[in-house]
Chain A
Amino acid sequence: MPFVNWLKRHLVVIAGTLTLAYLLLPNVIVTVFSFNKPKGRFNYEWQQFSLDAWKQPCGVADMCGSLSISLQIAVWATVGATILGTMIAFALVRYRFRARGSVNSLIFLPMAMPEVVMAASLLTLFLNMGAQLGFWTILIAHIMFCLSFVVTAVKARVMSMDPRLEEAARDLYAGPVQTFLRVTLPIAAPGIAAGALLSFALSFDDFIITNFNAGSTVTFPMFVWGSAQRGTPVQINVIGTAMFLVAVLITLFSMLVGNSRNKQRA
């Protein structure tokens, strides 16, 4: 039975490809429906091809405003979480100090907590303090939950670093600052970049924590959530498609650059 044998040999490939299809199917739908011209308020059924939404991506009231708020929050949350998280990661890998265990669990717990719990408890804090909910409370929350992911990413990289490289730098008369800037930081950079990228994606796409702590500020995910009740404009599909394409292009580009660099070195 050659067919059965072929099936047996390629079972993993077939199953994996099916999973990949499952993962990508919604993106295909989002893209296709960005060219739709829906009849009613909801963009769930295919009617006819149209470029209207692509021609006027900001044609929906408040959508691009919410997009810009989301971008601002994501940028600042990334900056904040990356700086604070990188510092913690270096402290954890490079130094011995007391309360190390407690620090580790304080880093781990936010990742092991359902978002809705963090969201609800943070809201009780803000309500008790009488804080005005809005941009700043969202930013505070986002830095909080991105922090742990940055620490994890940077820690993994710094841990796998060869300490002899830094010793060599010192032997060659580099001062501590010079060693850090010229040796340590470049080696740790991929970990820091990974942490920053993750922070940006998490913050930009966060809904649950934002929904609790946003007050009347509307981020892009909150706009989409609201539109699921009021009627989904085609433009959210345009934004979704554009974001997907930009992400794929940036990743492919960085991979190409990385590959050619590796080749040059080799």
Chain B
Amino acid sequence: MTTLTEAEAPPPLAPTAPEQKPPRKRGRFTPYWLLLPGILWLIVFFALPMIYQASTSVQQGSLEQGYKVTWHFATYWDAFSEYWPQFLRSVFYAAGATVLCLLLGYPLAYLIAFRAGRWRNLIMVLVIAPFFTSFLIRTLAWKTILADNGPVVHVLNSLHVLDVTNWLGWTAGDRVLATPLAVVCGLTYNFLPFMILPLYTSLERIDGRLHEAAGDLYARPWTTFRKVTFPLSMPGVVSGTLLTFIPAAGDYVNSELLGSTDTRMIGNVIQTQFLRILDYPTAAALSFILMAAILAMVTIYIRRSGTEDLV
């Protein structure tokens, strides 16, 4: 493999080993050979399935008699009109979890980037290490933490926090488990590292002298943050929110383990339709709507935040 591209290939000054072909000729097809296996893999197992899924969504039939493409677009309408509450819920839960991740993750990312000193590496390890314990086990631990007679519920109850959340419809009765609050809490927990790491990366790049300069120009710490630090960390904020929102919107694990039938998200519906009810056209249509909705939201978001170099 050589670094010479066709454009910049100078006449070979250094004698190359005789058994090797000159770099120029190697360079022409090398990129395609390098790309071929991986790209083929993605085309066959990522792009092609999307097409199959689109085709399945407009098919009619049954498991026994097989499915045929009948261009039955009504499936989309039926699926959407039946499951729009779950769609809406997914968007709300995911948005809530994303906001919470940003609020919780920013201070920690800031701490690691600017204030941790020699503890920086250790804290990074502690942020990443939970990844290595299966996230399902860790999510199940929330069942213990939020248990009905556990300390968390007890404290929230005696501080009358649950009264407020009950009034907001986030919890019900004296429980946190099996409520929207538990699901959002689980989603926030599960995707928090995906917010912290991009935030940290973009904060770490900021030149510390900018903070000094802001201070020299009589900016208070909060003003420095608002006018200097936060705008410079925007790439991290954007990719962090995307990395949190997208998986959270399609998640069904937290809703299943920590929620109830009243907290079912669109992922739960797709999973049930596909794996239990075996209604493939409806499931494919739902999954297609979810994909389209997320792609649309992501595109608008990236355009508006002006960080298109992300892609």
Interface residues of A (CB under 8 A from B): 11-13, 15-20, 22-27, 29-30, 33, 44-45, 84-85, 87-88, 90-91, 94-97, 103-110, 112-118, 120-125, 127-128, 140-141, 143-144, 147-148, 151, 163, 166-167, 170-171, 173, 175-177, 179-180, 184, 201, 204-205, 207-208, 211-212, 220-221, 224-225, 228, 232, 236-237, 239-241, 243-244, 246-248, 251-252, 255
A66 vs chain B, min Cβ distance (A) = 11
- Note all chain A residues with C-beta closer than 8 A to B104: 15, 18-19, 22
The complex places the Cα of A197 from the Cα of B106 at a distance, in Å, of: 25
Q: Is the CB of A26 within 8 A of B141?
A: yes
**8 Å CB contact of B189 from A23, A94, A123, A128:** A23
The complex places the Cα of A74 from the Cα of B152 at a distance, in Å, of: 36
Q: Is the CB of A13 within 8 A of B49?
A: no
Interface residues of B (CB under 8 A from A): 1-3, 5-7, 14-17, 20, 23, 26-27, 30-32, 34-35, 37-39, 41-43, 45-50, 52-53, 56, 104-105, 107-108, 110-112, 115, 121, 123, 125-145, 147, 189, 192-193, 196, 242, 246-247, 249-253, 257, 267, 270-271, 274-275, 280, 283-284, 287-288, 290-291, 294-295, 298, 311
B296 vs chain A, min Cβ distance (A) = 12
- Sample (24) of A-B pairs whose CB atoms are under 8 Å apart: A12-B110, A15-B107, A16-B112, A16-B115, A19-B107, A25-B141, A29-B141, A30-B141, A90-B1, A95-B27, A106-B42, A106-B43, A112-B242, A117-B290, A171-B14, A173-B15, A176-B20, A179-B3, A184-B1, A208-B251, A211-B271, A239-B137, A248-B125, A255-B121
> In the complex, what residue of chain B is closest to A181 when comparing beta carbons?
B1
**8 Å CB contact of B47 from A106, A173, A247:** A106
- Note all chain A residues with C-beta closer than 8 A to B193: 23
Q: Is the CB of B50 within 8 A of A121?
A: yes
- Note all chain B residues with C-beta closer than 8 A to A25: 141, 145
> In the complex, what residue of chain B is closest to A254 when comparing beta carbons?
B125
**8 Å CB contact of B142 from A17, A19, A26, A104:** A26
- Note all chain B residues with C-beta closer than 8 A to A105: 311
Given contacts A22-B192, A106-B43, A114-B246, contact A91 B34 (CB under 8 A): yes
Q: Is the CB of B133 within 8 A of A91?
A: no
**8 Å CB contact of A94 from B5, B53, B196:** B5
